[in-house]
Chains A and B, each alone.
Chain A
Amino acid sequence: MAETITIAVVGHTNAGKTSLLRTLTRRRDFGEVSARPGTTRHVEAVELSCDDGVVLRFLDTPGLEDPIGLLDALGPLRADMTPPQRIRALLATRAAQAEFEQESKVLRALLDVDAALFVVDSREPVVAKFRCEAEILASCGKPVLPVLNFVRDPSSRETAWRTLLGDFALHAQVRFDAVAPFDGGEAQLYAALQALLPQRQAALRTMAAFVERERAARGEAGLRTVAQALLALAALRITVSREELADARRKAAIVEAFRADVLQRARRAVHELLDLHAFARDDAELAMLPWLDGRWAADLFHPETLRDAGVRLGKGAAIGAGVGLAADVALAGLSLGAAAALGATVGGAISQGFGPLGRRLADAVQGRESLSLEDTVLLVVAQRLIGLHLALQARGHAADDRIDLERGALPMDALQPLLRALQPARAHPRWADEDSPRREAAQRELLAALRALG
C-alpha cells in the first residue's frame, strides 16, 4: 500500500510555485509558467512516486494576491477560536466565493495537507503584504517550509526575507532555485521536510534516497548514451575503391553520404539525451541549438572548427589522424585509411588481434581505401554531447533560457584520454551498429574515461 504525503505549494503570485513543481517532478509540461501574474488559477495535483511505495502529492495553488485584504477579511483572532478555525470561518463566508475566491482555494488546500512549501521570490522587497502572507500561512496549523527562490539573482534580498520568516517562527528555510537548481538542492529540501514532518520522516527519507538514486542513474545513463554514440562514430568506416575516389564527383557524393550518416548519429544522441532528461525535442529554446536545426552540419565539418580543435589539441602523437585533414582539405573531418588510420590499425592490431590488420592489408592489395572520422571531429562531438548532458542534468524543468554549451565546456586537451579509449573501435567497423562482448568491454573503458573527466 502506497504511503501518500500531500504537500501544498503556496506563495505570492509569480513567486515560482509552478516552476518549483516542474523541477521537483521533472514535468516540463506541468501547469502554465509565465511572467504574467496569476497564471495558475486553480489547484492542480501532481504526483511523484518512488518504487518503494511512497507518493508525494503536490498541490499547485493560485498565488495569494492580496494578503493584506485577506488578513483583514480573516479579522482578529478571537479568544474562542484557533487560527485554523478562523480560516474555516472565512471560507464559509460569501467573500470566500467572491473577492477572495483565489485565496480561498489556497486556504482550503492548506487545511487538507500534511505540509506546505511557501515559495518566496527573494528578489521582492519585504513589504507589508508579505508580512501578512507569512502571518496567514504560519497560522494555518500546518508545518510550513519557506523555499527561497531566485537567491542567486543579484537583486535577491535573502537576508531580509530570512529575518521576516524568522519573525513568524518559520525558521526552517531552504534555498532552492527552481530554474537552475543547486547541486544537492533537492536533497536539502527533502531533509528540511523530514525535520518538519517527523512522523513522516521514514517515508520522506525513502523519497529523498529515491530522488538521489534517480539523479545518479540519469547521470550514468547519460554517460552511457554519450559513450555508445562516440564508440559508434569512432567505429564508423566505409570501404571505397580507388577508382571511386579518383572521380571527384563520386568522391564528393561518398563523403557527403558519410557526413550525413555521422550527423544523423550525432543528432540521434542529442535526442536521446533530451528524452533521457525529460526535455522536449521541440522546446523552442532547445531548437535554437545548432545541433537540432541542421546548422551543426556546417559547424561540425567546417575546416575552421576542426583546425581550431586541432590547434587546441596540440600536436600529440595520439592525434596522428589529423594528417588526413592536412592532406586533403576536401575531406575535412574524414580520414582516408592510408593517410590516417595506420596508427589506429597498428594499435588496434596489438590490442584487438590481427584481424583488422589483415583486413587493412587486403584492402591495400585490392586497391581499396577506407574512410573514417577524424579524431578532431570525434572530440568536438564528445565535447558537445558531454556539455549537453551536464547542462541538461543541472537544468530545472521550468527553465526557458537557451542552453549555453560554450559556458563550462570541457577543454579539448582534457578530452584526450577519450581518444585512447576510443582507439579499439577504429579497428572494428561492426561496432558502429552491432553489439558484442568486446564492444561492451571497450564501452566500459570509455565510460571510465568519461567518468574520470568529472
Chain B
Amino acid sequence: MASGNDGLTLQDLLLTEAVKDFETHTPLRDDDALIEALSAAADRSSRLVARARRLAADTGLAADAARLRDGMVTLGIVVAGGVFLLAGLVTLALLGEGRRINAVAAMALLVAPNLLGILAWLAYAALGARAGAGLAGRAVAALARSRWAGAHVRRIWPAAARVLDAQGLTAWALGGLNHLVWTLVYTLAAFAVAAVFSFSRYQLAWETTILSPQALQEIARVIAWLPRHIGLPAPVPETLDDPQASQMLGVWLIAGTLAYGALPRVLLALLCGAVLAARRRRLTLDIDDPYHRRVLARLEALAPTRVIDDEHAAPASPRERAEGRFEAGTLALVGFELPPEVALPAALLARAAWSERLDGGIAERQAVLRRLAEHPPARLLLACHAPSTPDRGTLRFLESARAGGIALLLLGDGAHAARWRDWLDAAGRADIAVLTDADEALAAHG
C-alpha cells in the first residue's frame, strides 16, 4: 500500500531513500529519531519521513543532498553550453555550404531528425514506467557510481534515481529537460539564421532533378500551413523568378524552424512540466516496502500506553492468628470450586469429621464459614482444582475460615503446585501447606 500525503516533497522521499540505502550497510542508532518522529506527526508516511530527516541530518546525507542540488547549477551551465553548441550546429545545417541554400532540403534536414527524436521520446515515455531511466539514465547512474563522481554523489544518486523511477517521474523529468533544450536550440537557431539572413546575402531556392518545380512549390505550401496557422509569416513564392523569392523563402525557412522545430518541443516541454507538477502533488511513500514496514513496527511499539487507574490499594492489615479452642483431632474437608467430574478422595472423606463441596454462591460459602466458626476443626483441608487460577475469592475464604491449621490439597495436575505455593507466599500465607497427594494429606492429618 502506498500512502499518499499532501505534505510529502521530493526532498523528503530522497532523504528517506538515501537513509534506507545507508542503513543497509551501516545500522544506525535511531532511538531519538523514532521518538521525535512519533511526536512530530500522526500519519505513518510523515513519521517515516521525520525519522529519515533526523537521521539524514545526523549522518550528513542531508548535506550531501544539498551539495547535489547545488551541483545542479553546474549541470545547468553545462547544459546551456550544450544548447549554444547545438544551436550553432543546427544553424550550420540550415545554412549549408556556400551562399546557395536549397530551402526545401534544409527544411527536411530540420524536420526529419526532430520528428524522429520526438517519436523516440514518445516510445520511451510509453515504456518508461518499466524501463527505468533508459540508456541515458543508466549512463548517468554508472557515472554517478564511478570514482569520478564525488562521494556525496555516490551516496545520494542511487536513491535519487530510484525515487524518480518509483514516482514515475524519470521519463517526464528527462523528457522535460530534453524538450526544453531542443526548444532553446531551435529558437536560437531561428534567430541565428534570421541574423545571418539580415546581414548576408544568400540565394534561397528549391532544386530538383526528378520532381517538377510545381511539386516542390506545393510541398513548400503544405509546410507553410502550420506556421501560418500560428500567426507566423511563411510566404511561398509563385515562381523562383520572382525577385522577392529568396527573401520569401528565407522568412519561410525561419518560420518553419520555429513551427516544426521549437513549437512541438515547447508543447512537449509544457506537457512534461504539467505531468511533473501533477505528480509532485501526489508523491507517495511505499510504506509496504519491507524496510519501511520494519521501521513502522518499531515506531508503533514505541507509542505510549497510559495507566489511567493506578494501583492504590490500602496496605493489608496484619492478619490475626486464629485463636481459641479447636475440636481436637477433627479434620474438615472442603471441596472448593471443583469441576463436577472431580471427586473428593474417598480415603479423606472417610477420615474427615465432615466435608462439604462449595461451588455455589455467597450463601453456601457463608454457611460453610459459619460452620467452621461454630465448630472449628483442628485441621481444615481445602481441596482445590489444581489447573484453576488461584484468586482473591479463594484467599478471602481462607482468611475467613477458622481452623487450627489449614492446608490446600490440589486435585488434578500437580504441576501447578508451584503456582499455588507462590500465590500463598505472595499473600503472606506461607503457613498454609500445599499438598498434591491425598495419601500425603491423610498422613499429615492422620
Report if A80 contacts B (CB, 8 A).
Answer: no
- Whether B392 contacts A220 by the Cβ 8 Å rule is no
Chain B residues near A105: list those with CB within 8 A: 309
A149 at the B interface (CB under 8 A): no
Measured between beta carbons, the chain B residues less than 8 angstroms from A157 are: 339
Partner of A43, one of B300, B308, B359, B365: B308
Which residues of A lie under 8 Å from residue B312 when comparing CB positions?
A: 101
Of residues 107 through 137 on chain B, the ones whose CB sits less than 8 Å from some CB of chain A are 130-132
B306 touches A44 (CB 8 A): yes
Chain B residues near A437: list those with CB within 8 A.
130-132
Given contacts A37-B423, A272-B294, contact A129 B314 (CB under 8 A): no
Query: Using a Cβ–Cβ cut-off of 8 Å, how many residues does chain B contribute to the interface with A?
Result: 53
Kindly specify which of B95-103, B198-206, B233-241, B381-389 makes contact with the partner chain. B381-389
Q: Are A224 and B290 in contact (CB under 8 A)?
A: yes
Determine the distance from Cα of A225 to Cα of B294 in the docked complex, in whole angstroms: 10
For the complex, is B361 an interface residue (Cβ under 8 Å from A)? yes
Complex CA gap A42/B297 in Å reads 26
CB-CB < 8 A to B422: which residues of A? 36
**Whole-angstrom distance between the alpha carbons of A37 and B391 in the complex?**
7
Which of A38, A47, A101 has the most B CB atoms < 10 Å from its CB?
Answer: A38
Contact A36 B419 (CB under 8 A): yes
Q: Is the CB of B305 within 8 A of A46?
A: yes
Which of A38, A109, A121 is B392 in contact with, Cβ under 8 Å?
A38
Enumerate B141-160 residues with CB–CB distance to A below 8 Å. 158
Name the interface size band of chain A. Answer: 35 or more
C-alpha spacing A417/B196, complex, angstroms: 69
Choose from A43, A46, A132 the contact partner of B361 (Cβ within 8 Å): A132
> Does any Cβ of B come within 8 Å of A93's Cβ?
no
Which chain B residues numbered 346 to 361 have a C-beta less than 8 Å away from chain A?
359-361
Given A125-B338, A132-B361, A45 and B301 contact (CB-CB distance below 8 Å): no
List of A residues within 8 angstroms of B359 by Cβ: 127-128
Smallest CB separation, A42 vs chain B (Å): 5
CB pair A225 B300 closer than 8 Å: no
A114 at interface (Cβ–Cβ under 8 A)?
no
Other A-B contacts than A67-B393, A272-B294, 8 sampled, CB-CB below 8 A, are A28-B301, A68-B393, A71-B362, A99-B396, A101-B312, A221-B289, A225-B290, A277-B297
Could you list 22 A-B pairs, sorted by A, with CB under 8 Å?
A: A13-B389, A14-B389, A26-B300, A27-B300, A31-B305, A36-B422, A36-B426, A43-B309, A65-B391, A65-B392, A66-B392, A68-B365, A69-B396, A71-B361, A98-B314, A125-B338, A125-B385, A128-B337, A224-B289, A276-B290, A277-B297, A435-B158
B residues sitting closer than 8 Å to A (CB atoms) are: 1, 3, 43-44, 130-132, 158, 162, 288-290, 293-294, 297-298, 300-301, 303, 305-314, 337-340, 342, 359-362, 364-365, 385, 387-393, 396, 419, 422-423, 426
